Amino acid sequence: MAASGSDTPTGHDVIHVAAAEHVDALIDEISERGERVVAVADDLVFVAGAARPAAWARNSWLAPRTITIDSIGDGARALRALQRNWALHPVAHHRRARLIADRLPPIRFRALTFPADPPTAALGAWTLWDRHTLIASPVTTSAFADGTPAFVEDRDNPPNRAYLKLWEALTLARRRPGPGDRCLDLGAAPGGWTWVLATLGATVISVDRAELAPALAGRPGIEHRAGDAFAVRADDVGDLDWICSDLIAYPERLLELARYWCAACPLAAVIITIKCQGPVDAALCARFLAIPGARLLHLAHNKHELTFFRLPEGGPPEAACAVDTTD
């Protein structure tokens, strides 16, 4: 259902913004846990019931309200009356929506220079449903516009672009390894995640049948072990602070991997990429979430995959963005 020319949805308590090309996966996830989808408009999924984290949502609007407006200026005033910082999510009447956005206090969304800590400024989200109706939420789950962070990329040193997934995961987690931490990187080659962990000052045990990129192979603080990443056990590596994996494998095998390491190292932080094969199995995702302390997120740098988090000390990951709220 598109917004233009359609009735404004009612009876919803939260609006999820679906990850790109994963509207169906989000609807299946919501339905699997017994929640009711009220309406769908483009990538907006309107849901009745208490707000719960949704893996396939890049942002969730937690306090949506419908606002009737008479003009462009009226729309801008209505939003400013709720709070200062807003990000437009356009679905219809794009020019009129942009004119409203231009009358709001400016925000400069700066690319993050990892590992800088992002600010915690609240960021509301809104859309222009029709010419005289705004849907706005001053409270969302992400302080990134549409839940999509941007980073100042390193185009010279990482061996592949997989490093961006771990940058994003650690930014959302609001914690990261550092000097004195011992990390395990399963399925490491060519070494994008190992490179991130090592540049943060941590000691890294990388495991893969293939070798690391030459620039990483002899780097101090990195111990590479050739072998099957699924065969590694806690007794083989000693005490760990972080367990990371970007392994390519069927989700069922990755579920067993997550279960094992979460049980074997209850005090360690665990981050695992879940590669989804074909249609997303919502029931299988629920089995990941049954692990105590688990959280699933579709990162902006994920493709057809989710990221599993278990952060025993820091709680579930929270998104944030770099914003300059000066006029």
E strand or H helix that includes residue 96: helix 94-102
Check if the beta carbon of residue 233 is closer than 8 Å to that of residue 240: no
Q: Is 278 exposed, middle or buried (0-12, 13-18, 19+ CB in 10 A)?
A: exposed
Residue with tokens 């049948």: 209
Q: Are strands 86-88 and 182-186 parallel, antiparallel or unpaired?
A: unpaired
Taking CA atoms, 253 is separated from 194, 237, 247, 260, 277, in Å, by 22, 20, 10, 11, 12
Could you write out the DSSP letters of every residue in 1-15? --STTSPPP-S-SEE
Chain center to CA of 298? 5
Tokens of 237: 């590596």
Taking CA atoms, 255 is separated from 151, 191, 218, 249, 311, in Å, by 30, 22, 32, 10, 16
Q: Which of 275, 281, 286, 318 is catalytic?
A: 275
Strand positions, DSSP E, 2-68: 14-18, 36-41, 44-48, 57-61, 65-68
Check if the beta carbon of residue 44 is closer than 8 Å to that of residue 15: yes
Check if the beta carbon of residue 61 is closer than 8 Å to that of residue 311: no
What distance in Å separates the CA atoms of residue 292 and residue 245, rounded to the nearest whole number? 19
275 noted as active-site residue? yes
What distance in Å separates the CA atoms of residue 23 and residue 45, rounded to the nearest whole number? 8
Could you write out the DSSP letters of every residue in 166-235? HHHHHHHHT----TT-EEEEET-TT-HHHHHHHHTT-EEEEEESSPPPHHHHT-TTEEEEES-GGG--HH
What distance in Å separates the CA atoms of residue 179 and residue 203, rounded to the nearest whole number? 7
* Catalytically annotated residues: 275
